[in-house]
A = this chain, B = another copy of it.
């Protein structure tokens, strides 16, 4: 009763369950939305219901898209023979923001895990292998997270790939702007081992 009516309370509760938000920030968001120019909140609601209707996983690569095949997969300029394997859609988006990669992607949706009962089939690895021939893939870039789970999955995929393919992984080292004093020992060791000539 205190925090507006039933709908307002339900909206706050729904927003509080989103990642990065809690009850306090959900309240702030709702109050700010109600306090804005009329129409702004309705516009956000419309946008959200439209995305809820149209957003789906690209049936080829797993990217989130509004079409059955995403814009990256259908872009003829990106038929480079390079296929970049990532864990999550967020990783794909992060790579795209860098604008360095001009090939196509394959989103696994997670990492292998015996504990959580996640098998290669759950990650679409057979689907990845099936893409290599038809799409004339020559290089697989395993851009999985530098975690134990990510690297285990990368090794599994590398073993499952047919011979004759180039298989690469992201370089490990000091991040741009990184200060040695704040880096963990593993990163410094990796950067030192992979040192290069100036």
List residues of chain B with CB within 8 A of the CB of A49. Answer: 41-42, 45-46, 49
The yes or no answer to A130 lying at the interface (CB within 8 A) is no
CB-based nearest B residue for A22: B20
Beta-carbon contact of A71 and B5 below 8 Å: yes
The yes or no answer to A10 lying at the interface (CB within 8 A) is yes
Copies of this protein, total: 2
Beta-carbon contact of A55 and B34 below 8 Å: yes
The yes or no answer to A187 lying at the interface (CB within 8 A) is no
- Secondary structure at chain A's binding surface: helix, strand, loop or mixed? helix
Beta-carbon contact of A55 and B93 below 8 Å: no
The yes or no answer to A90 lying at the interface (CB within 8 A) is yes
Beta-carbon contact of B46 and A14 below 8 Å: no
The bracket for how many chain A residues form the interface is 35 or more
Measured CA separation A89–B8 after assembly (Å): 13
Measured CA separation A147–B157 after assembly (Å): 60
Measured CA separation A25–B38 after assembly (Å): 25
Within 8 A of B (CB), among A75-100: 75, 88-90, 92-93, 96-97
List residues of chain B with CB within 8 A of the CB of A33. Answer: 18, 48, 51-52
List residues of chain B with CB within 8 A of the CB of A28. Answer: 19-20, 90
Indicate the member of A21, A42, A52, A89 with the most B CB atoms within 10 Å.
A52
Measured CA separation A8–B91 after assembly (Å): 16
The yes or no answer to A142 lying at the interface (CB within 8 A) is no
CB-based nearest B residue for A14: B44
A interface vs B, CB < 8 Å?
A: 1-8, 10-11, 14-15, 18-21, 25, 27-34, 38-39, 41-55, 63-67, 71-72, 75, 88-90, 92-93, 96-97
> Can you name 11 A-B residue pairings with CB atoms under 8 Å?
A1-B71, A1-B75, A2-B96, A4-B51, A5-B54, A5-B71, A14-B47, A18-B29, A30-B51, A41-B51, A41-B52
